[in-house]
Copies of this chain bind each other. A is one copy, B any other.
């Protein structure tokens, strides 16, 4: 079987600590074989992010509900993968990093969705074997002045009827603030732009726009956040060059986000600001469950690990009927940018 993926954790899950370097704790065997570097990137990034999260979020102060305790959970996923989730920490309400490899046959619905993106997928006996691997993370802070951050970088491979393999990379990094802070928006986008510019000056403007288009909550007429970069189906100029680009993007995650966390995690906030954050978290849930490609793919794939897929959902969210912030309020200023995305760097 061509697409079987086996995970061999080389240290016991019980002794794994998120502060260890990622290299070597995860071994991958199988013939869905992109450069080895890809899994290294995934596991290194995961260890780096987990370590940072732990350093910033380990003090539990029981916000929200006394029975909820701080938990770092590690789980070997059914499809092959490791999820690392921090819940109800002092700085982060919920933060997860997930490395996964899934393989099997595309569901009809998943194939239909890919064809609708322009792929010609010729099935063999009605079946399309696939393999996907990636790293993803969503970080929902407690303080409404610290934005939510999401990134995901993934590699996808499909074997067609004649044995040829289609492959592509996809992913991106994006920011979802509760309140707009222009300085933070510029820092975030500038860091991503620098990562892109090392490879091709055309990439940042193209992927910035793609991000604004992709994270669009159509039924609300709003973007989920203030964007970042997003791309999918990228299969040129060469596998190696795309991989180097993806590595640069993944390496930019920490410098584009952590300074913003440090800057605002002790900002004071009002109950009204917390409430607005919870309403925005509701929109986050709407986007992820209704539109997100990765979530939809996961929900459609038999045997996929649902707790890892839905790790991206916030700890808490809120929906009020007909909530409309007053004109000229900070909340209205945020909405304006979600409705009409801005260019933050040129």
Contacts and interface: CB of A to CB of B under 8 A. Distances in A.
A107 to B, nearest CB: 12
Contact of A314 (B67, B68, B310, B319): B319
B289 A67 contact: no
Q: How many copies does the complex hold?
A: 2
A272 B313 CA distance: 21
Interface in A223-281: 271-272, 275, 278
A96 B321 contact: yes
Given A219-B299, A271-B66, A317 B320 contact: no
Contact of A310 (B67, B96, B306, B319): B319
B65 A271 contact: yes
Interface in A40-93: 65-68, 71, 73, 75, 83, 85, 87
A1 interface: no
Which among A220, A306, A318 has the highest number of chain B CB atoms within 10 Å? A318
Contact of A322 (B73, B316, B318): B73
Given A67-B275, A306-B220, A318 B321 contact: no
Chain A interface main SS type: mixed
Interface in A270-322: 271-272, 275, 278, 282, 285-286, 289-290, 299, 306-307, 309-311, 313-322
Contacts of A316: 278, 316-319
A39 interface: no
Interface residues of A, number: 40
A94 interface: yes
Contact of A321 (B87, B219, B282): B87
Given A318-B316, A321-B87, A322-B73, A219 B278 contact: no
Contacts of A67: 271-272, 275
26 contacts: A66-B271, A67-B271, A67-B272, A68-B320, A73-B322, A75-B322, A83-B321, A85-B321, A87-B320, A94-B319, A218-B299, A219-B299, A219-B306, A220-B306, A282-B313, A285-B285, A285-B289, A289-B289, A290-B290, A307-B321, A313-B319, A314-B319, A316-B317, A316-B318, A316-B319, A317-B318
Given A219-B306, A316-B318, 7 more contacts: A65-B271, A68-B320, A73-B321, A75-B322, A85-B322, A220-B306, A285-B289
Interface of A: 65-68, 71, 73, 75, 83, 85, 87, 94, 96, 218-220, 271-272, 275, 278, 282, 285-286, 289-290, 299, 306-307, 309-311, 313-322
